[in-house]
Structure formats: C-alpha cells, structure tokens
Amino acid sequence: MIVVRRTYLPKPGTGGKLLTLVREAADEMANAGFPKPRVFKGWHGGHGTIYTDQEWESVLKYEESRDAVRRTTAITSVFSGIYPLLAQTHDTQILELVE
C-alpha cells in the first residue's frame, strides 16, 4: 500500500478558494472511481498550505491511473482552476505504508 501526498501552497489571499477546489477535485476523483484523497489544512509551514493523501494498492496502480485521470474532464476542469491559485507547482511525495 502506498500513499500519494500532495502539498499545495496558495498565493496570498487564495487559500479559501484553493481549499474549496481541492475538496471538489477529491470528490470528482471519487466520482470517477479513483480512491478519494483526504484533505488536510496545515498548521505549520507556509500559510494556507493544503495537503492531500490518497491511498493506492501499489505504485503500479497509481501510475496506471495517471492517463485515466488526465482523460477525465470533471477532474481536469477543477485542476484548471487550482493551478492559477498556487504560489508554486504542487509537490508530490509517494510514501510506502509500513504498519
């Protein structure tokens, strides 16, 4: 099991709108049959930072999903609203769950 963690740092003054869109993107991923990301607000680091964690069976399953996600207009249209709100491109980490 892996967790794909993404970190989103908003431009000043856009954190509320970014949070709304990240939540919407998570819902659209679930609606399209992908694992629904959990959404977190950070209490440390850059002001307004938002994190998502999305669990996948394996790196292979995650990699296989990338093209399908890009073909899902309901998801990509939300991300087209997210990107202009970011202070920098979102950061992605892949973590292996070792319970």
Q: What pLDDT does residue 75 have?
A: 97
Q: Is the pLDDT of residue 29 over 90?
A: yes
The DSSP secondary-structure symbol of 6 reads E
Task: For the chain, list the domains and their CATH numbers.
Answer: 2-96 (3.30.70.100)
The backbone torsions φ and ψ at residue 42, rounded to the nearest 5 degrees and listed phi first, read -80, 145
As given in the structure block, the two tokens for residue 35 are 């694992």
Please classify residue 6 by burial: count the beta carbons closer than 10 Å to its beta carbon, then call 0-12 exposed, 13-18 middle and 19+ buried.
middle
Chain segment 64-88, per-residue pLDDT in tens: 999 999 999 999 999 999 999 999 9
pTM: 0.92
